[in-house]
């Protein structure tokens, strides 16, 4: 399959899917508290998704057992919710959520702090978020994919952070994962030319320490090899002839921009 250009009708559905996912993130963030298990985070997240009449896209995707990927501290992505794992003050927790609305997907991730977190942790979260915005400054039709990737990487690397290479962003639409792959690091390829009507999930995963990651024995959870903290920030984005449209921003985020 090649990169798809969405029709006007598909774009309307993608926008609706994105708006709902933004609400899911905002609602779930409000529920987060110390002492809650990561299993509860998933259960509440799934309830919220279904309350909007949507289907969680991660559940059973290639055998992934939950609706929300909950990744704590040195867990980079794809953490599996667990009744015994309780959130503690000072933790940082990445919530990655995908849903389907009338056949169309949205995908977004945020990293939150539990209670008071260290200066280092909060800087990592902010800078990971900012690396996404640096990237999409270049998400204009006519530019190449590498313009996004390079901007994310140079920004994150300027702080000495490790940019994860084993996992990448992706096209999104009637499928969760479509072409193209979207690296967050510099490569020797220019990548495809961006065109109006493409919808992309751009998702920097940034480690406070080295870029190396490894997989736990559950075959899902990705952790930093050096045990350093990791943050994740992802939105579903629409490429236009002008500025890109971010389809999964929460109202809270929009009001702060
Ligand atoms: N945002 C992630 C991705 O784009 C989440 C997928 S998790 C999975 O791949 F469980 F669905 F695999
Ligand atoms: Co994704």
Kindly report, residue by residue over 80-103, the tens digit of the pLDDT.
Answer: 999 999 999 999 999 999 999 999
Query: How many other CB atoms are found less than 10 A from the CB of residue 25?
Result: 25
| Sequence-separated (6 or more) residues with CB below 8 Å from residue 48 | 23, 24, 27, 28
* Distance of alpha carbon 52 from alpha carbon 2, whole angstroms: 31
- The residue contributing the CA closest to ligand 1 atom 8 is 58
Q: Does residue 256 sit in helix, strand or coil? A: helix
Q: What spacing in Å lies between the alpha carbon of 58 and ligand 1's midpoint?
A: 6
In tens, the pLDDT along 193-248 reads 999 999 999 999 999 999 999 999 999 999 999 999 999 999 999 999 999 999 99
* Protein residue with its CA nearest to atom 11 in ligand 1: 58
- The model's pTM is 0.98
State how far the Cα of 144 lies from the Cα of 23, in Å rounded to an integer: 31
Q: What is the mean pLDDT of the chain?
A: 98
pLDDT for residue 152 is more than 90: yes
Residue 167 in contact with ligand 1 by CB distance below 6 A = no
| Residue 2 confidence class, pLDDT cut points 50, 70, 90 | confident
């Amino acid at each position: 399959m090649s990169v798809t250009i969405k029709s006007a009708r598909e774009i309307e559905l993608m926008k609706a899917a994105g708006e709902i996912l933004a609400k899911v993130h905002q609602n779930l963030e409000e529920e987060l508290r110390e002492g809650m298990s990561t299993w509860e985070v998933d259960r509440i997240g799934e309830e919220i998704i279904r309350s909007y009449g949507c289907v969680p896209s991660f559940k059973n995707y290639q055998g992934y057992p939950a609706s929300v990927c909950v990744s704590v501290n040195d867990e980079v992505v794809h953490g599996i919710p667990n009744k015994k794992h309780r959130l503690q003050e000072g933790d940082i927790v990445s919530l990655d959520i995908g849903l389907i609305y009338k056949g169309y997907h949205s995908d977004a991730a945020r990293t939150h702090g539990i209670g008071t977190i260290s200066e280092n942790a909060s800087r990592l979260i902010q800078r990971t978020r900012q690396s996404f915005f640096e990237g999409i400054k270049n998400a204009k039709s006519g530019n190449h994919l590498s313009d996004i990737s390079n901007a994310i990487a140079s920004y994150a690397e300027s702080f000495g952070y490790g940019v994860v290479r084993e996992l990448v962003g992706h096209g999104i639409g009637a499928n969760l994962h479509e072409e193209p792959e979207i690296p967050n690091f510099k490569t020797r390829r220019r990548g495809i030319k961006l065109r109006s009507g493409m919808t992309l999930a751009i998702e920097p995963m940034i480690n406070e320490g080295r870029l190396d990651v490894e997989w736990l024995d559950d075959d899902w959870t990705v952790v930093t090899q050096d045990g350093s903290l990791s943050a994740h920030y992802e939105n579903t984005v629409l490429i236009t002839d002008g500025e890109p449209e971010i389809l999964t921003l929460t109202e809270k985020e929009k009001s702060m921009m």
